């Protein structure tokens, strides 16, 4: 319990991911390309939300299927 209360402003947490689908191999963007497109600025990134514009850029450049997105 002492680890949870070590720093109340920065407590550890658990993230449960649900894997649904991945981009096809030919359309996956590598770290360099993500930075060139301005989707991310530094790495490692951690958990930060993407802006709507960054998400659209990611989907357009990876040829993602927008029909899978629930808004």
* Separation of alpha carbons 17 and 36, rounded Å: 27
What letter does residue 4 receive in the DSSP assignment? T
Q: For the residues of 5-53, what is the DSSP string, one character each? A: TS-TTS--------------GGG---HHHHHHTTS-SSSS--S-PPPHH
**So what's the pLDDT on residue 15?**
76
| pLDDT of amino acid 63 | 85
**How confident is the model at residue 20, as a pLDDT?**
67
**CB 69, CB 59: distance < 8 Å:** yes
Q: How much is the pLDDT for 4?
A: 65
Q: What is the pTM of this model?
A: 0.62
Q: Check if the beta carbon of residue 47 is closer than 8 Å to that of residue 15.
A: yes
pLDDT of the chain, 71 residues: tens digit per residue:
566 666 767 777 777 777 666 777 777 888 899 999 999 888 777 777 889 999 889 888 988 887 877 76
């Amino acid at each position: 319990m002492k680890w949870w209360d070590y720093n109340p402003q920065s407590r550890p947490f658990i993230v449960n991911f649900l894997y649904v689908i991945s981009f096809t191999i030919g359309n996956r963007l590598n770290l360099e390309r993500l930075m060139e497109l301005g989707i991310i600025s530094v790495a490692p990134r951690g958990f930060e939300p993407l802006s709507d514009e960054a998400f659209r850029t990611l989907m357009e450049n990876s040829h993602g299927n927008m029909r899978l997105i629930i808004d």
